[in-house]
Structure 1
Amino acid sequence: MNREKYIREIARERVILLYKYSVERAREGDFELARRYIEIMLKIAGKARIKPPRYIRRGYCRRCHIPLIPGLTLSVRVRGSGKSSRLVYRCLQCGWVRRYMIKASGRRSS
Structure 2
Amino acid sequence: MPKSKLSVLREIARERIILLYKLAVERARKGDHVLARRYVEIMLKISAKARVKPPRYIRRGYCRSCKIPLIPGVTSRVRVRSKGSVTRVVVSCLACGWMRRYVVKT
TM-score when scaled to structure 1? Answer: 0.92
Could you tell me which residue of structure 2 aligns to residue 56 of structure 1? 58
RMSD: 1.1
Match runs of 1:8-19 below 5 Å: 8-19=10-21
Q: How far is 1:83 from its partner?
A: 2.7
Match runs of 1:18-37 below 5 Å: 18-37=20-39
User: Could you tell me how far apart the structure 1 residues matched to 2:84 and 2:57 are?
Assistant: 25
Could you tell me which residue of structure 2 aligns to residue 108 of structure 1? none
1:58-100 C-alpha deviation (Å, 9 max, x unpaired)? 0000000000000000000000156300000000000000000
Could you tell me which residue of structure 2 aligns to residue 76 of structure 1? 78
TM-score when scaled to structure 2? Answer: 0.95
Structure 1 runs of 4+ aligned residues shifted over 6 Å read: none
What stretches of structure 2 of length at least 5 have no aligned partner?
Answer: none
**Higher Cα Rg: structure 1 or 2?**
1
1:12-66 C-alpha deviation (Å, 9 max, x unpaired)? 0000000000000000000000000000000000000000000000000000000
The number of equivalent residue pairs is: 104
Could you tell me which residue of structure 2 aligns to residue 100 of structure 1? 102
Could you tell me which residue of structure 1 aligns to residue 41 of structure 2? 39
User: Could you tell me how far apart the structure 1 residues matched to 2:105 and 2:85 are?
Assistant: 8
User: Could you tell me how far apart the structure 2 residues matched to 1:53 and 1:82 are?
Assistant: 31
